[in-house]
């Protein structure tokens, strides 16, 4: 079953501001106990921009994007998402989370619910959407990620690549303005990586604002407007893909690329 976009009423969302900035991080610091995991992060992402964030393990990449929807709490600095400053205010946190979708390394699907039920849960309970409409939206996005025939199966009956595409569709059902991807292909078998990357490439081509933590350098070359390289909790380099891969500015960037592109 495929539902046309025109047949789906747009999900109510917060009004978009006139500010072209989607996310702004200024002087952001975070510690885990004595460990300084994020060090003076300054980063601005424009609407419609695609950023790929790369770097060695433990460099703070995942922590940084998790701070954007308050899955991790920063201790110093400012984070502003779609004009709303992220503080301890629970109402503001909820507002931001409604408009920021996130796809994790692991799929985090409810195993006891069907694929369709996994997709309709948040629209019904958070967006207060009628069940029939939520199911139409869900089927549209399952068709969008090319697995509408899996709607009535359970997550355990799907491959890893299919489950990750379900996770992407689940986020899209909430009509996010920004999508965060935290190493979405790293838990997949190699033959399943392409189907997930193809879905993400298609999203990027439609103009979605995207921040993606990934070691998929081919994806970065094809999709990213900018590549952000992190090491030891710091942003070491921000560059265009062409410059980053052909003539990186920093020795730490060069060493990382030499190891990952050997």
| pLDDT on residue 18 | 63
In sequence order, the β-bridge partners of residue 53 are: 213, 228
Stretch (H or E) spanning 68: helix 61-68
Tokens of 80: 């502003």
pLDDT tens per residue, the chain (262 residues)? 444 333 344 344 444 456 799 999 999 999 999 999 999 999 999 999 999 999 999 999 999 999 999 999 999 999 999 999 999 899 999 999 999 999 998 889 999 999 999 999 999 999 999 999 999 999 999 999 999 999 999 999 999 999 999 999 999 999 999 999 999 998 888 888 999 999 999 999 999 999 999 999 999 999 999 999 999 999 999 999 999 999 999 999 999 999 988 6
* 3-class DSSP state of 211: strand
Rounded to an integer, what distance in angstroms lies between the CA atom of residue 168 and that of residue 21? 23
Options 3.60.60.10, 3.30.1150.10, 3.40.50.1480, 3.40.50.300; CATH for 21-215+222-259 is 3.40.50.300
Contact 172, 144 (CB under 8 A): yes
| pLDDT on residue 231 | 97
Contact 96, 13 (CB under 8 A): no
Contact 175, 13 (CB under 8 A): yes
* 3-class DSSP state of 73: coil
Report the 10 Å Cβ neighbour count for 47: 17
Rounded to an integer, what distance in angstroms lies between the CA atom of residue 51 and that of residue 244? 13
| pLDDT on residue 109 | 95
* 3-class DSSP state of 135: helix
| pLDDT on residue 40 | 98
| pLDDT on residue 61 | 97
* pTM exceeds 0.85, yes or no: yes
Stretch (H or E) spanning 28: strand 21-32
């Amino acid at each position: 079953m495929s539902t046309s976009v025109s047949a789906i009423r747009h999900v109510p969302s917060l009004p978009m501001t006139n500010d072209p900035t989607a996310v702004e991080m200024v002087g952001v610091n975070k510690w885990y106990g004595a460990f300084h995991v994020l060090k003076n992060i300054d980063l601005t992402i424009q609407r419609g921009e695609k950023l790929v964030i790369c770097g060695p393990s433990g460099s703070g990449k995942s922590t940084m994007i998790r701070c954007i929807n308050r899955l991790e709490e920063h201790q110093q600095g400012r984070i502003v998402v779609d004009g709303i400053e992220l503080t301890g205010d629970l109402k503001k946190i909820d507002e931001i989370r409604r408009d920021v979708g996130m796809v994790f390394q692991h799929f985090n699907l409810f195993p006891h619910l069907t694929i369709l039920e996994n997709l309709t849960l948040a629209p019904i309970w958070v967006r207060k959407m009628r069940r029939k409409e939520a199911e139409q939206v869900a089927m549209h996005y399952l068709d969008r990620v090319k697995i509408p025939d899996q709607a009535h199966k359970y997550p355990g009956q799907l491959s890893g690549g299919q489950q990750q595409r379900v996770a992407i569709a689940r986020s899209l059902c909430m009509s996010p303005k920004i999508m965060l991807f935290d190493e979405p292909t790293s838990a997949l078998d190699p033959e399943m990586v392409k189907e997930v990357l193809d879905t993400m490439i298609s999203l990027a081509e439609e103009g979605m604002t995207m921040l993606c933590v990934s070691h998929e350098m081919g994806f970065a070359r094809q999709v990213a407007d900018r590549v952000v390289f992190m090491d030891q909790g710091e942003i070491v380099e921000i560059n265009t893909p062409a410059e980053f891969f052909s003539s990186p500015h920093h020795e730490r960037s060069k060493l990382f690329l030499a190891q990952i592109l050997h």
